[in-house]
Amino acid sequence: MAAADPATTSAGELVRQLAHYSDLALTRPVIVTRNRRPRTVLLSVEEYERLKQRDPQAFLAADTPEQFLTEIEKLASGQVMTGRQAKFTAETLRRRGASHGP
């Protein structure tokens, strides 16, 4: 669905034709406007889940693992990680994002 151009409708029209726009959202995003401004997007559950899996999980600065703080401090002081260290950090961040829910 990611490649399809989105459809656009007003919130009032969405209410009047919910079944139509719900069906349309199975094949492409539906942008819902309020006062002629984009406000929300109606997506299929499959597209929502796909986007949710793709988005890396963020965490609060206070919850930043110590190993990442150390790497950030090194980068801030001009020290550079080796390729292997960078790969390890990227893989760890990816796993952390996949294992922590919203």
Does residue 88 lie within any of the structural domains?
A: yes
pLDDT digits (tens, 9 = 90+) for 8-20: 999 999 999 999 9
Whether 48 and 67 share a structural domain: no
Whether 38 and 64 share a structural domain: no
pLDDT digits (tens, 9 = 90+) for 78-98: 766 566 666 666 666 667 665
**Whole-angstrom Cα distance, residue 10 to residue 29?**
14
More confident residue, 64 or 22: 22
Whether 14 and 36 share a structural domain: yes
**Whole-angstrom Cα distance, residue 18 to residue 30?**
11
Q: Which of 5-14, 15-24, 35-44, 71-80 has the lowest mean pLDDT?
A: 71-80
One-letter amino acid at 23 equals D
- Which pLDDT score, from 0 to 100, does residue 13 have? 97
